[in-house]
Structure 1
Amino acid sequence: MTPAPQLLPVIVVMGVSGSGKSTVGGLLAERLGVPYAEADDFHPPANIAKMSAGHPLDDTDRAPWLDAIAGWIEERAGHGGVVSCSALRRRYRDRLRRDAPDLFFLHLDGSPELIASRLAARMQHFMPSGLLASQFEALEPLEPDEAGAVVPVDGGARQIAERALAALPGATGR
């Protein structure tokens, strides 16, 4: 008798800007053989313009963005997928998991100094490094009742992706 295939959860790769969400998320999706979505692609143009001008988003700005990401997550439920999303506050994570209770969060975590150095080296992104402090201030770490894991971001992208892969539920044998 063959065991039933394990359903893959949808994974949210979260963290502050510059933590490696897009790079690690893409590598993770590739390894798992599931689709990848970049949360920045869900922002309406007004949000991008606001951040490009150096202004942080407020909850009103984030609401349609989170709803769009949550819609993608709901479509992928039971089939697996990886989406990058800052998901800095508990209430944002609660919104994402409202219709997808099996959602799993991978929090890419590093010191403000490490993240700032990576952000300074990054080119062609609308998020100015001046907003990094506000992201660290807004960050609410995963709570014990949230399905997820913290993944340190020291090292190279592939090393971080391997750590992320190992942190997933049922990671043995992947």
Structure 2
Amino acid sequence: MQHSPTPHVVVVMGVAGTGKTTIGPLLAARLGVPYAEGDDFHPRANIAKMSAGTPLTDEDRWPWLDAIGHWAHDRAGLGGVVSSSALKRAYRDRLRAAAPGIVFVHLTGTRELIEDRMSHRTGHFMPTALLDSQFATLQPLAADEAGVEVDVSGEPAEISERAVAALGALGPDRP
């Protein structure tokens, strides 16, 4: 894949368990840009709340999104990949306000597949019990949002290759 003269920041988004933390670094490596784990931007209070099985409110999310947006802004022209659930249009709008060139890769899959993956992962604070609230909150990318949807069935290498191909199909002014 050829890089555009001004690399964009790619936000790997989707509900918990879609593989953002797995696909993000693979995609970053393929694009030749750094990766940032979105969960690392969460304040401790957010992690405690989610660990207890309590969904975050919009007010909980704003500082987290602002921190990701700041990182993306600092990467403008340099490129990067960051993970963020970015479930609502308002969240993506907030990220775009901080870094207008952001492009989204929305990882999608069946609820059954995602729940199965979540039930087998270890060391993550997000319980499977919050998956329903994630799907209820999700607003898929709209036609006017720069981004692509990528199915998460298959192996991580396959998924990341689908993401690279989908981003390439966006045209020369995209990553």
TM-score (norm 2): 0.93
Query: Counterpart amino acid of 1:75?
Result: D
Shift of 1:7: 1.4
Q: Hey, what does 1:11 align to over in structure 2? A: 10
Q: Hey, what does 2:37 align to over in structure 1? A: 38
Mark the runs of 5 or more structure 2 residues left unpaired by the alignment: none
Is residue 98 from structure 1 mapped to residue 97 from structure 2 by the alignment?
yes
Shift of 1:170: 4.1
Identity of counterpart residues, as a percentage?
62
**Alignment RMSD:** 1.5
TM-superposition CA deviations, 1:146-165 (whole Å, max 9, x none) = 00000001100000000001
Q: Hey, what does 1:49 align to over in structure 2? A: 48
> What secondary structure is seen at the aligned counterpart in 2 of 1:8?
coil
Cα distance between partner residues in 1 of 2:92 and 2:81: 15
* 4+ long deviations beyond 3 Å: none
TM-superposition CA deviations, 1:93-134 (whole Å, max 9, x none) = 000000322110000000100100000011110000000000
5 Å-filtered alignment, 1:1-174, equals: 6-168=5-167, 169-170=170-171
Which structure has the larger Rg?
1
Cα distance between partner residues in 2 of 1:134 and 1:13: 19
Query: Counterpart amino acid of 2:89?
Result: R
Larger mean Cα displacement after TM superposition, 39-48 or 161-170: 161-170
Cα distance between partner residues in 1 of 2:151 and 2:33: 23
Cα distance between partner residues in 2 of 1:100 and 1:60: 20
Cα distance between partner residues in 1 of 2:13 and 2:96: 13
Shift of 1:12: 0.2
TM-superposition CA deviations, 1:4-61 (whole Å, max 9, x none) = x621110000000000001100001111111100110000100000000000000111
Cα distance between partner residues in 1 of 2:83 and 2:154: 19
Query: Counterpart amino acid of 1:80?
Result: G
TM-score (norm 1): 0.94
